[in-house]
Structure 1
Amino acid sequence: MTKDIRVRFAPSPTGPLHIGGVRTALFNYLFAKKHKGTFVLRIEDTDQNRYVPGAENYIKDALEWCKIPYDEGPGKEGEFGPYRQSERKDLYKQYADQLIKSGFAYYAFDTPEALETERKNHEANGKTFIYNWHNREKLNNSLSLSQNDIANKISSGEPYVIRFKSPQDEILHLTDEIRGDIKIDTNTLDDKILFKSDGMPTYHLANIVDDHLMKITHVIRGEEWLPSLALHVLLYRSLGWEAPSFSHLPLILKPVGKGKLSKRDGDKLGFPVFPLAWTDPKTNEISSGYREDGYLPEAVINMLAFLGWNPGTEQELFSLDELINEFDLKRVNKAGAKFDPEKTKWFQQQHLQQTDNHLLSQQFLSILKEKNISTTLDVDIVVNAVKERAVFVKDLWDLSHFYFLSPTEYDPKAIKKAWKEDTPNLMHELNRILDDISDFSEDNVSSIVKGWITGKEIGFGKIMMPLRIALVGSLQGPDLFQISSLIGKEETIKRIKNAIESN
């Protein structure tokens, strides 16, 4: 690739950013960084009726949290700004006029009522109404009107739109980097509106103009835009511009059933479909987010990368740098990718294991503070001991509470299994052994206690299971001698006494 690679993510601020949008942003980002290129964020807010306050900031915050920040965009102005389409609206009319002048577009004065009548007439005859080559010269537009009539209508302020004049009897040969060669019969295309009666461009025109002026080299977007590919390529051709490379990503599918993944699926099955929590400004309804549910951004990104792409190896766990190095559009699938909530949790658990213990302990300390627990224990050691069974940071408390709080209740099933008639005497004897130990390090306590058990010629379970019940309250938890060393001799002996008295 000899050109400077420039890609863009161009969401509309009509609500929270779906994880499908995050995946599109991610693939653009990975492609740009792989080729030392530029990742642009452009806010496509030409549809002011659907604009939602706060949505743009949500988009930017989501990209930052996911650690896929844009290089150019709102707040990071480059030489191709502004990066909001509403601030670029004066640019678009000249290109619509250029298309009219060159014969590739025309004024259409049809009223909504007239078009509805045409649709109903076609339906009555078992046909579908399409505004294109077969009827456009019979409708109310500049192709069927005289120049005087056109001028009078425009000067009198009569509403009009500008439509693209789709070519007739042509087979378009298109190329998609993921889907290969595509053939389109132009006779099947309708004459899309490029410029609306409210003076704003439609997505199609604004998108093409902006991509050209921003020197976008590769358009990587969702499969839902594949039906627009022919029009967009024709617009580039009609404006005399070189088209970028196009890649259309596969859909993210529901975990159960058919169709695209939606918010409703997340609500029904109990998982987020948005990166961050979102409060609807109209209804105040709160939608959950991966961040607030405790997911690590690294896990979310790793999960999203595998929705439609694979590295061609058995490796599943990737850092962002590794994804950049391995990413290749040729390894993006055509078929839709089924979303798997359990696999997402697996990615989360794996990345939690790889997270530095000190970083996790800082988050865990916040949980302890909320529970009004102050401690002198080395929380890094606690986290390292229990994190293997954790999926989220919030799980660490349930897995480690016994480090900070002496058991007040004991698991009845554990007591029945491990606490026998001679257990109290053995526990009293164990306490005497522990009380004589001056070096209460994990290895030393382990050596002395195990030596004592061996010397008594009794099964290890007769001591170790009751000891675990005394220290933990159940038959779960990490290495007992690690626990006793960390909580200290005095606390260990105290807990054993408590267990004897309680059971």
Structure 2
Amino acid sequence: MLVNQVRVRFAPSPTGFFHIGGLRTALYNFLFARHHQGVFILRIEDTDRERFVPGATENLQSALRWAGIEPDEGPEQGGAYGPYFQSQRTEIYQKYASLLLQQGHAYYAFDTAEELEAMRRQAKQEGDFHAKYNAARRMQMRNSLTMTTEQVNKALAQKQPYVIRLLVPQERKFEVNDIVRGSVTFDSREVDDQVLLKSDGFPTYHLANVVDDHLMEVSHVIRGEEWLSSVPKHLLLYEYFAWQPPALAHLPLIFNPDGTKMSKRDIQSLDELPAGKVDPDVASYMKKGYETAALLNYIALLGWNPGEGDDRQVFTLEELIEQFSLERVNKSAAIFDLKKLNWLNKEHIMRRSPASLALENRQAVMQFASVSEAYLEQVVALLHERLYFSRDVLKIGAYFFNDPDTYDPAVVKKRWEADSAKIIVEFSAEISKLDVFTSTAIEAVLRQVAEKNGVAATKLIHPVRLAVTGVGVGPGLFDILALLGKETVVRRLQNAAKRLPG
């Protein structure tokens, strides 16, 4: 490794859906690596075989590709520090667990589930409702600290199930200078003798991540705040192995709008959210059609800001890479605000060209109507400011491609009056005489017809919009009419005059 080279890793467990907090962790690691011309590693921590979900790894990798967060090393990219699946590295962890046993820093524990439960019950009776398998209780349990060497060897020979636990000192203070949280102190009395190697031979997160971070030469560990309480165990392992620990940065949690923990429970879709809740599943935002740039922009701001005096809210990925620093990450929890994400999504759509938006919508539109690329691009240009999702051209502008077959009842009730049909027919007759069908010429005719009938122009504008589009809102009316063309507009006006109540 190059001297002082930044090497960071995103190390998710494939135990379910890809959480929005996980995407933020991946993004922060990626931004930090790119800002420092370092290396971004993807490592799959799949040693929890009971919770392993088939397909979760592939979904996660697909989401990272969608986000443009491409690892430099990982399961697909390879690299000099692989394999990058922890399930393929079990012999390495067993080797280091054995080393800890030899050094007296770990021990065998043969306790059954029933014995562990009995210990907890006894602790509760003694008033300890958060019993830990630690210095206070380990000498009451069935392990290699309380058993003779002969008993241990016999248990191993009989292949009795066992785990290997970390031997945590009884009286010890641990202090770490976390980049985000500052100086944090831990007391070993609050730390359990963590299981390092499970009875199935697989390591727990604690052993595997320390060993891998060292062997993969990780310089900075950037992860969620939920892992902060595990730091003393990890520091102890680094000490026992005589390794230099990486720099640590623990990111703030992300909460629902109501201040509760984000959960997938009771979430059906982004369109049907319970009050005060948001969907934590990255796939939901991909499916809904959020701009990649907008989602990354938003989650970057969930815990980070560009600094004093910089009130920008809209960032491209390149701008985030340039500006990002761990020193600007907040300690306090972030609240997920869907309204702000929607606002950012619209802002990023406005930064896109009509040509790119037309291309994205072309396939859907062509299944609905056959139009030229030039026409579709003109439609998108008119709808651009009204697009909250880039694929919504048909949703909000179907009338650009087909005559309306229905008319919004609420608009009919509010805007269509007894004399609307008569005035619209007259307007239709006048615009049919136009040689040049431009928005300016159409507007002039409409105002002439309104004046002739002694009504305000708005009394004609609203019924015309309803007749031509079937709805009551949209881009500028005269721009719509000019783009649709004289033949289409006249036909729609005449149809509405016949169909709507007069």
Give the TM-score taking structure 2 as reference length: 0.89
Q: Is the 8 A contact 1:254 1:265 kept in 2?
A: no
Greater CA drift, 68-77 or 292-301 = 292-301
Q: Distance in 2 between matches of 1:140 and 1:60?
A: 43
Match of 1:269 among 267, 273, 276: 273
Structure 1 stretch displaced more, 211-220 or 264-273: 264-273
* Amino acid in structure 2 at the alignment position of 1:269: L
Label 1:485 to 1:146 Cα distance change in 2 as closer, same or farther (>3 A). same
**Aligned partner of 2:487 among 469, 473, 490:** 490
What is the CA–CA distance in structure 2 between the aligned matches of 1:378 and 1:293, rounded to whole Å?
A: 26
Match of 1:468 among 460, 465, 468: 465
Distance 1:127 1:8 in 2: 38
One-letter code of the match for 2:63? A
**Counterpart for residue 11 of structure 1:** 12
Seq. identity, %? 41
- Distance change (3 Å), C-alpha of 1:432 and 1:154: closer
CA distance in 2, matches of 1:487, 1:121: 80
Of 287, 291, 298, 1:292 maps to 287
Supply the AA of the counterpart residue of 2:136. Answer: H
Q: Which residue is equivalent to 1:198?
A: 200
Question: Per the alignment, in what secondary structure is the counterpart of residue 378 of structure 1?
Answer: helix
What secondary structure, in the 3-state scheme, does the structure 2 residue paired with 1:247 have? strand
User: Are the equivalent residues in 1 in contact too, given 2:15–2:56 (CA < 8 A)?
Assistant: yes
Partner residue in 2 for 1:46: 47
Q: Measured at CA, do residues 425 and 194 of structure 1 come closer, stay the same or move farther in structure 2, by a change above 3 Å?
A: closer
1:308 to 303, 327, 338: 303
Partner of 1:100: 101
- C-alpha contact 1:106 1:141 (8 A) present in aligned 2: yes
1:76 aligns with 2:77: yes
| Shift in CA distance, 476/26, structure 1 to aligned 2, threshold 3 Å | same
Structure 2 residue runs of 5 or longer lacking an equivalent are none
Q: Look up the match of 2:248.
A: 246
Report the residue type matching 2:292 in the other structure. P
What residue is the counterpart of 1:349 in the other structure? 346
Match of 1:120 in 2: 121
d(CA) in 1 for partners of 2:260, 2:183: 25
CA distance in 1, matches of 2:399, 2:101: 76
Query: Following superposition of structure 1 onto structure 2, how do residues 174-189 of structure 1 map, counting pairs within 5 Å?
Result: 174-189=176-191
Structure 2 Cα separation of the partners of residues 405 and 232 of structure 1: 64
Once structures 1 and 2 are overlaid, which stretch shifts more, 321-330 or 50-59?
321-330
- Rounded to whole Å, the distance in 1 between the matches of 2:55 and 2:48 is 15
Counterparts of 2:110 and 2:396, CA distance in 1? 70
Q: Shift of residue 353 of structure 1?
A: 2.4
What is residue 134 of structure 1 aligned with on the other side? Answer: 136
- Measured after TM superposition, the shift of residue 422 of structure 1 is 6.6
SS at match of 1:300: helix
**AA matched with 1:274:** D
Matched, 1:434 2:431: yes
Please state how far the C-alpha of 1:415 moved relative to its aligned partner. 5.7
Contact kept in structure 2, 1:7 and 1:216, CA below 8 Å: yes
CA distance in 2, matches of 1:373, 1:266: 35
Q: In terms of mean alpha carbon deviation, does 37-46 or 259-268 score higher? A: 259-268
Is the deviation greater in 172-181 or in 359-368? 359-368
Cα distance change, pair 410–130 in 1 and its aligned pair in 2 (3 A): closer
**Deviation, structure 1 residue 435:** 3.3
**C-alpha contact (below 8 Å) 2:428/2:490 kept by paired residues:** yes
Please name the residue that 2:336 is paired with: 339
Distance 1:411 1:159 in 2: 70
Question: In the alignment, which residue of structure 2 is the partner of 1:173?
Answer: 175
Equivalences for residues 410-429 of structure 1 within 5 A: 410=407, 427=424
Aligned-residue offset at 1:461: 3.0
The alpha carbon displacement at 1:177 in A equals 0.9
Q: Which residue of 2 aligns with 1:374?
A: 370
One-letter code aligned to 2:172: E
The question of whether the paired residues in 1 share the 8 Å contact of 2:251 and 2:331 is answered with yes
Distance in 2 between residues matched to 1:358 and 1:164, nearest whole Å: 60
SS of alignment partner, residue 267 of structure 2: helix
Q: Partner letter of residue 320 of structure 2?
A: L
SS of the equivalent of 1:50 reads coil
State the SS of the aligned residue for 2:380: helix
CA distance in 1, matches of 2:265, 2:148: 52
Q: CA contact under 8 A between 1:255 and 1:261: conserved in structure 2?
A: no
Q: State the secondary structure of the residue aligned to 1:335.
A: coil
> One-letter code of the match for 2:75?
P
Change (3 A) 1:214 1:501: same
2-structure distance, mates of 1:493, 1:272: 46
Structure 1 unpaired stretches of 5+: 277-288
Q: Distance in 2 between matches of 1:193 and 1:176?
A: 25
- Encode CA deviations 1:89-123: one digit per residue, 9 max, x unaligned: 11011211221222221222333333333332232
| CA distance in structure 2 between the aligned counterparts of 1:413 and 1:112, rounded to whole angstroms | 65
Q: 1:383 aligns with which of 374, 380, 384?
A: 380
Aligned length: 489
The whole-number CA distance in structure 2 between the counterparts of 1:134 and 1:474 is 73
Which whole-Å CA distance do the structure 2 matches of 1:465 and 1:147 have between them? 92
On the 8 A contact 2:304/2:330 being kept in 1, the answer is yes
Q: Distance in 2 between matches of 1:344 and 1:236?
A: 41
Provide the C-alpha distance between the structure 2 equivalents of 1:357 and 1:463, rounded to a whole number of angstroms: 30
CA distance in 2, matches of 1:11, 1:32: 17
Q: Aligned partners of 2:482 and 2:315: how far apart in 1?
A: 36
For the 8 Å contact 1:178–1:329, the answer to whether it is kept is yes
How far does residue 434 in structure 1 lie from its aligned partner after superposition? 2.7
| Distance in 2 of aligned mates of 1:80 and 1:253 | 35
Assess, with a 3 A threshold, how the Cα gap between structure 1 residues 420 and 188 changes in structure 2: closer, same or farther: closer
In terms of mean alpha carbon deviation, does 236-245 or 470-479 score higher?
470-479
